[in-house]
Amino acid sequence: MSALLISLLLIIALLPSCASTVARPRLTAVFLDVGQGDSCLFLLPDGTSMLIDAGPRSAKDAVVNSLKESGIEKIDYLVFTHPHEDHIGGGVAVLEEFDVGQIYMPRTSHTTKTYEDLLLAIKDKGLSITEAKAGKTVVDTTDLKAFFLGPTKNYEDLNNCSAVLCLTYGKVTFILAGDAESEAEKDMLVAARVPDADVLKVGHHGSATSTSDEFLDAIDPEVAVISVGKDNSYGHPAQKILDRLAKAGVDVYRTDVHGTVTLTTNGRDVEVKTER
């Protein structure tokens, strides 16, 4: 894996213009500050878009507004990693406001009002759900590939059922671990080669039960994003995980500290911009 040039756009903005590289379509990943929850928008180089989770219900307006500000009219690929409210709570609002192409969710049995409302909204829109599971391809073009690393099987624990997405543009790979915990991480490592990635959306908001040494070693990211609410009652992220990431030399960005975190790549270099 080639070395990455990772710079804050703020710093770049201060440098004299030296852009001599041939312009290449860019991919942007926006890790939205949704408080305690997850939502990540990919603006793909071919002009399509992908949304991974829609945050908690309390952030639905923020998610919808951010998507509108990004110029989104249609979400081509909508992934709900698992049925917990902090990942699907904004889902109904998103379905009401935008055209949606393909929807991916893991097969689970879960019965909460929030989940039932989401399934109903999907049905009302005349959409069907494609099962998110290990090995399932979402996008497969020359430059851009996206597939699921997990779940490799069914679990009683919904976090472990998380759809774990691996997306590669050019030489840059992102892994979004949903809320997968160490049991699911171990199964992914056994089931397939977990690729070396540049960017890791840390599993389960940085909880101590995710991001095992083995999983982190396999991915060996340069940048990690933790989507987490300020002063959340769970104590996420765990100091143990922050220490583990620091020891591995990973640059960590947190939505509770940095606000929305935006990563842009031309398929070679990754630039990170933070809201604060």
Binding site for Zn ion (CB under 5 A): 86, 179
Q: How far is the CB of 231 from Zn ion (least distance, A)?
A: 16
Residue with Cβ nearer Zn ion (210 or 265): 210
Residue with Cβ nearer Zn ion (209 or 266): 209
Instruction: Report which of 270, 276, 208, 273 is spatially closest to residue 245, judged by C-alpha positions.
Output: 208
Residue with Cβ nearer Zn ion (88 or 149): 88
Q: How far is the CB of 35 from Zn ion (least distance, A)?
A: 11
Residue with Cβ nearer Zn ion (76 or 179): 179
Q: How far is the CB of 206 from Zn ion (least distance, A)?
A: 11
List 43's β-bridge partners, or say none.
28, 49
Residue with Cβ nearer Zn ion (86 or 271): 86
Q: How far is the CB of 174 from Zn ion (least distance, A)?
A: 18
Residue with Cβ nearer Zn ion (78 or 144): 78
Q: How far is the CB of 31 from Zn ion (least distance, A)?
A: 13
Q: How far is the CB of 14 from Zn ion (least distance, A)?
A: 36
